[in-house]
Amino acid sequence: MKSIRRASGVALLGLALALAGCGGGGGSSSSGPVVIGPTPTPSPSPTPTASTCGLSARQDWALVQMREWYLFPETLPGVLNKASYGSLEAYVDALTATARAQGRDRYFTYLTSIAAENAYYQSGETAGFGIRLGFDDATLTLTVPEVFENSPADAAGIQRGARILGVGTSTGNVRTISAILNQSGTDGLIEALGPDTAGTARVLRIADAGGGERLVTLTKAVFDLEPVSPRYGARIIEEADGRKVGYINLRTFIYAADPQLRQAFADFRAQGVDELIVDLRYNGGGLLAIAQLLGDLLGANRRPSDIFAQLVFRPEKASENESYPFRAQPEAVGARRIAFIGFEGTASASELVINAFVPYLHADVALIGANTYGKPVGQIAIDRPECDDRLRIIAFATSNAAGQGAYYSGLAPVMERSCQASDDLAWPLGDPRENSVKTALDFLAGRACSPIPGALGGIRAQSATKAAPRLLTPERPANARQIEVPGAY
């Protein structure tokens, strides 16, 4: 049985569709995606065998799905010797090499584990130290832009703005960041931090944000990532002129964000907020159901006929094209002006939400910070349960109500307003003194700002504008958490 799910950018859409009479549900709990149409009773998964889950059989299966659904079929190789590839991941990467060279599929098509991905999307369950890392190519420094609650790093007292000076497996072999870089570059730095498995321990030499150095032993553990931080994720900022501005920081679009977003917007609504700062600076994407919820909560003044997003498949799959209208939500506010904070880590569903408001608010919606990643495409996810294989295939393009999409070089060129700002590690996220938040407040108040330079090329825009250190991410992410929570370890 073939199960197909759609996804925005690199993440599950909250809406699943049963195709070809086969199962379309997602996840293993009752809080999984809404299924359009009847849901058949799932059949027991067969026991894996060499014939069903051997590498050759899995490669054949992946090729069939790619030829049927891939958004750029003309880029697929006519002949590819599958025996030349020692893993299914390497084979899929070879299939997408041409589109990747064209900048249209930067490892957006990939293989992952059904079980692991479902666990992440339900609650943000992940194994790690609980820190986000940024790397400055100019100074060769490794910084901590964010620490996640209830994680090993949080328990160790590490805070935003700290620097990692060295990494080792024991106190006796801690190597400096420069030594690691000199030997093996940033790939070696990622490797030095260890695999994303519970129990992996590393000794870090930390320069705390408040001053002083120390050695800290951190052991990676499984914890639930809070999509809206209880410390700074939602607040109301009162300006000197008496205006109230709502601030919301969303880390990732997962199911657990639903009640948190609703509560935050209920508070905004109760206090008459109609100007908002939506901080997506590190948000690499996630569930379209949550992306649309965020759009709905910002759009109480949208009509039922107003389109939030459009999905367009390749011509022979045009029957799958869909438009998603804004939906009424009891907690929604009618936003007059919105300042979206975004940087190179802002991708996929985050970009979709920002782009959705351009046709309606025009110059009253702005991108604050730097250019975004540039991911105007979406996926379906095809499952092979007996092998725990989920193949995420770029299968459709996304656009707003005006048909604006194809922002492969980031959103800055398509925005009518933008304001350049830095990710100011000297202040907590959500603090009105932090440069990006301060610049967002300036935009909302009608004060002047410097626009983000033109199309600099998505992920390259960050270093080109010196807006902030880039998030430390592998070139080829291995799972949903690495893609949608970029820089997390």
Which residues in the chain come in under a pLDDT of 70?
1-50, 454-468
Burial of 79 (0-12, 13-18, 19+ CB in 10 A): exposed
- Cβ(279)–Cβ(341) under 8 Å? yes
> What is the rounded (10 degree) CA torsion for 78, 8, 19, 100?
0
CB 62 within 8 A of CB 88: yes
- Provide the pLDDT for residue 58: 96
Please, which contacts does 315-320 make with residues 24 or more away whose CB atoms are closer than 8 Å? 317/69, 317/395, 320/17, 320/396
Distance CA 304, CA 292 (A): 13
Q: Which two tokens stand for residue 151?
A: 């994680």
* Token pair for 285: 């994407």
CA–CA gap between residue 384 and residue 2 (Å, rounded): 7
Tokens representing residue 128 in the block: 């790690």
Per-residue pLDDT at 468:
60
Token pair recorded at residue 300: 């109480």
3-state secondary structure of 163: strand
How far, in Å, CA of 275 to CA of 268, rounded? 10
What pLDDT does residue 121 have? 86
pLDDT of residue 43: 37
Give residue 489's pLDDT: 95
| The pLDDT of residue 141 | 95
Domains of the chain: 3-123 (no CATH), 129-224 (2.30.42.10), 234-375+398-467 (3.90.226.10)
Please give the helix or strand (H or E) that residue 235 lies within, else none. strand 234-238
